[in-house]
Amino acid sequence: DTAVSQTPKYLVTQMGNDKSIKCEQNLGHDTMYWYKQDSKKFLKIMFSYNNKELIINETVPNRFSPKSPDKAHLNLHINSLELGDSAVYFCASSQDKARSYEQYFGPGTRLTVT
């Protein structure tokens, strides 16, 4: 059983397009995250939701908009894609705020913008 799943796994698109990445966790966790991993492997938090409430909103272009329809799902919508958005995007979840050091990551979505 997949704990944290993401779709799609690969996404190739052109500059200017709008795309979405979906994430689902079946762990019953309260908190979910989006990370961006660049070509140098650096992991950077983008957003975090706790029980559908946005609690972390890092300095990310407002072309990126997260949406949490329920606590098991966290989607990421990106408008007007740019070359610099090419990266691997990871969704993660943690049981609650207290155990946020223990995060479960999805397999990642490799976004390539041409």
Partner 1 sequence: QQQVKQSPQSLIVQKGGISIINCAYENTAFDYFPWYQQFPGKGPALLIAIRPDVSEKKEGRFTISFNKSAKQFSLHIMDSQPGDSATYFCAAKRQGAQKLVFGQGTRLTINP
Binding mask 22-61 for partner 1 (x = CB under 8 A): ---------x--------xxxxxx--x-x----xx-----
DSSP labels, the chain = --SEEEE-SEEEE-TT--EEEEEEE-S--SEEEEEEE-TT--EEEEEEEETTEEEEE-S--TTEEEEEEETTEEEEEE-S--GGG-EEEEEEEESSSTTTTS-EE---EEEEE-
Q: 66, 103, 112, 113: which one contacts partner 1 (CB under 8 A)? A: 103
Residues found near partner 1 in the complex (CB under 8 A): 4, 31, 40-45, 48, 50, 55-56, 90, 92, 94, 97, 100-108
